[in-house]
Amino acid sequence: MMIGDMIVSSLEFPEKISLVIFTGGCILRCPYCHNPELIDNGKPVELPEVFNKIESSMDFIDSVVITGGEALIQYDDVKKILEYSKKQGLETKLDTNGCFPDKLSELIDLLDYVALDIKAPFNKYEKIIGSDIGDKVKECMEICTDNGIYLECRTTYVPFLMDPEDITEIAKSITTDIYTIQQFRDKAVLDKRLQGTPVPSRDELKEIGEAVKPFLKKVRIKTAEFGNEFID
Residues forming the site for ligand SF4 (CB under 6 A) = 26, 28-30, 33, 35, 39, 68-70, 97
Nearer to ligand SF4, 130 or 196 (CB): 130
Positive or negative torsion for Cα 144, 142, 137, 221? negative
Minimum CB–partner distance for residue 147 and ligand SF4 (Å): 22
Minimum CB–partner distance for residue 14 and ligand SF4 (Å): 21
Minimum CB–partner distance for residue 132 and ligand SF4 (Å): 14
- Alpha-helix runs per DSSP H in 39-189: 47-56, 75-87, 101-107, 125-129, 134-146, 164-173
Nearer to ligand SF4, 86 or 185 (CB): 185
> How far does CA 37 lie from the centroid of its chain?
17
Q: Which helix (H) or strand (E) holds 207?
A: helix 202-212
- What is the maximal distance between C-alpha atoms in the chain? 47
Minimum CB–partner distance for residue 58 and ligand SF4 (Å): 28
Instruction: Provide the 8-state DSSP code for 143.
Output: H
- Other CB atoms within 10 Å distance of the CB of residue 184: 20
| Residue 89 amino acid letter | G
Minimum CB–partner distance for residue 55 and ligand SF4 (Å): 28
Nearer to ligand SF4, 151 or 189 (CB): 189
Nearer to ligand SF4, 28 or 90 (CB): 28
| Residue 99 amino acid letter | C
Nearer to ligand SF4, 20 or 90 (CB): 20
